[in-house]
Chains A and B, each alone.
Chain A
Amino acid sequence: MPNHAEHKKIIPFLKTSVNALLENKVILFPFALVAFVQLFIIEILYFSPRYPLNVFFGPIISKIWSPAYLEYPLNFLLLPKMFQYSQMPIYIFVSSFFIAVAVGIIAAINADQKVNIGAIIKKTFSSYVHLIVAAIISFALVAVLFKLFGLVFTRAAQIRSTTGHFFMIKSIVMGGAPYFQLLLSIFATTLFAYVIPAIVIDNKKVFSALMVNFKSLKGAFWFTFFIVLTPSLLFMPILLLRNSIPLDFFAPELRLMTLVFSVFVMVLIDAIIYTAVTSFYLVKKEENS
């Protein structure tokens, strides 16, 4: 793991974290389980318009959206939306827990202890309530930021100019919406980056973990921000692909494939971010003690 003196250098720090991931593949295990849950959800949603799952999902989809979305290929328009809705409970109840398990594994490796996944899962489970509350707070911030961006988006949509500065603002806000949303998510992740390490490594309760988190961020906000931002850039090609595929291009199934691919990319990004963030947290902790 890198020492504190190196921490100002973002790229070498991330490189060391990636190497740590490659040398200790066990860190990837909890992230693989998150990927499994996500893929399972995608699978269920993908088959939701078909028999026998349509017996349950058919009336729900018809009522909330339209029966047309139960038909091929329109179901592929709804699939990413339904998957997006499933992300809140998955993050709060599943991802946060497995990220915490990964943090526990990294801490054990850092302390040169033998990694006992069963024991780490058991120990992490004792902090499950705190992890859930922390995830809810983090998700709430994302929701508020998205809501605020939604207001800006609505205002931009009302601009009638077809040339000039106002038109440029409208084009940037509307065309760049997915990228702005990604940036807001990165900001929110940065703001709560050290909460899970504090809960898992220092056995803190959620509110003291928040205090520790903000203390850790002090003087290291931009470093943490770029640690989160750099791997997140891997998601840009997915956003580009997702926003540029017409439904009848090649095959509608391409949307499903993009979604599956995005799960793997997201999991990889999370693995790099939390390995780096936890390493930094541990380095800082060692220096303070």
Chain B
Amino acid sequence: MKKTLQICVVILVGIFVLLTVLDYKGEYASQKELWKINKYFVEIAQDPNAAPSASFDKAAAQFNSYLKKFPNSSSTPIAHILLGRAHLLKKDYNKAREIYEEIVVKYKDRPEIAVQAVAEIGRSYADQGDIDGVMRVYDRIVADFPLTDLGLRTPLLKAKYYFDHNELQKASEAFSSAIVYYKQLIVKHPDSDIEYSALRLIASCYLAQERWEEAINVFSEMLLDFADPRYLNAQRAQTALNTINTISIVKLENYDLPIGIYQKFITKYPEHPITPTLEGMIKSFEVLKQKNVQAVESGS
């Protein structure tokens, strides 16, 4: 009996040791180590001004040792970015930018990582209040990584940055330039994911500029040309419809505009999952329209 139990314990311990050793420097081990370093980093980063400078040095040392131990893990780029951020929070901007430039070179074949490093450089300039520096970084992103998610959003972000810093004239110009830029992208990449993203961004620019009718027309184009559920999922459909309805009722007081868009959609896609919703909306708009006519007649 005792012997059997001893064998059981040896089996459990043996398998544990064996499986631990087999994955000693593997993906899982790297994720575990990064999680632990990052936990410490998140704690000190919550209030960077209160944390002593030495704590960021300690975090940076931990990230450096991680990068040496796991040079090829899938988490390595994240650790590299976090290393730069540790210097950024320590306000050692030059060192942070140096690290981010290293990342851009190291991951030149992986634009989604490289663009994140460039964005962090922009963040360092923003922390220093250097608007020109931020703008240079925005231009660099658009030039070097135009088709990444961030690259696509950057012209809009640039305009919003001016807007948030109360430079309204520059913001207006940047929104207009962004619209022109996105329209050029659509011409270059028709019927693609890029066209869809560009349309969404154009709509955001029009909304920011309060060009309501043009914004609705873009939403209409998105609905009619990108009805595939890959693009028009439940959440996106709801956002688009809510925007069209709100602008039509509140800003334009025009009920025929959404009715026309939804009727076109139903004719083109009678079997689409959102068709019943649109039919209901058309009825609601008809009622609103009726009430509005009665109100005007009784008023006159």
In the complex, A52 Cα to B32 Cα: how many Å? 17
In the assembled complex, 25 residue pairs joining A and B whose CB atoms fall closer than 8 Å, in A order, are A29-B4, A29-B5, A33-B4, A36-B8, A36-B11, A36-B12, A47-B23, A49-B28, A50-B19, A50-B23, A50-B26, A50-B28, A50-B29, A51-B27, A51-B28, A53-B19, A54-B28, A72-B28, A72-B31, A72-B35, A73-B32, A73-B35, A117-B1, A248-B39, A252-B35
A50-B23, A50-B26, A73-B35 are contacts. A26–B1 as well, Cβ < 8 Å? yes
Q: A49-B28, A51-B23, A71-B31 are known contacts. Are A32 and B5 too (CB-CB below 8 A)?
A: yes
Shortest beta-carbon distance from A257 to chain B in Å: 14
B15 at the interface (CB under 8 A from A): yes
- Cβ proximity bits B10-40 to A, threshold 8 Å, 1 near / 0 not: 0110011001001100111101100100010
Query: CB-CB < 8 A to B28: which residues of A?
Result: 49-51, 54, 71-72
Inside 8 A of B32's CB, which chain A residues have their CB? 72-73
Interface residues on B, range: 10 to 19
Instruction: Name A's B-contacting residues (CB within 8 A).
Output: 26, 29, 32-33, 36, 39-40, 43, 47, 49-54, 71-73, 117, 248, 252
Minimum distance in angstroms from B104 CB to a CB of chain A:
26
Smallest distance from the beta carbon of A231 to chain B beta carbons, Å? 22
Instruction: From A29, A33, A39, A47, give the contact of B19 (CB < 8 A).
Output: A47
Q: State whether A43 and B8 are in contact (beta carbons under 8 Å apart), knowing that A51-B27, A72-B35 are contacts in the complex.
A: no
- Give the shortest distance, in Å, between A252 (CB) and chain B (any CB): 8
Residues of A near B23 (CB, < 8 A) are 47, 50-52
The CA of A52 and the CA of B27, in the complex, are separated in Å by 11
Q: What residues of chain A lie closer than 8 Å to B39, measured between beta carbons?
A: 248
Residues on the A chain within 8 Å of B22, using CB: 50-52
A248 partner residues in chain B, CB cutoff 8 A: 39
Q: Which residue of B lies closest to A252 (CB)?
A: B35
Whether B16 and A29, one on each chain, are in contact in the complex, defined by CB atoms closer than 8 angstroms, is no
CB-defined contacts of A47 to chain B, threshold 8 Å: 19, 23
Provide the bound-state CA to CA distance between A247 and B29, in Å: 18
Residues of chain B contacted by A26 (CB below 8 angstroms): 1
Taking the nearest CB of chain A, how far is it from the CB of B144, in angstroms?
Answer: 30
Task: Point out the residues of chain A lying under 8 angstroms from B4, CB to CB.
Answer: 29, 33
Q: A39-B12, A50-B19 are in contact. List 13 more A-B contacts (CB 8 A).
A: A32-B5, A33-B8, A36-B11, A36-B12, A43-B16, A50-B26, A51-B27, A54-B28, A71-B28, A71-B31, A72-B32, A73-B32, A117-B1
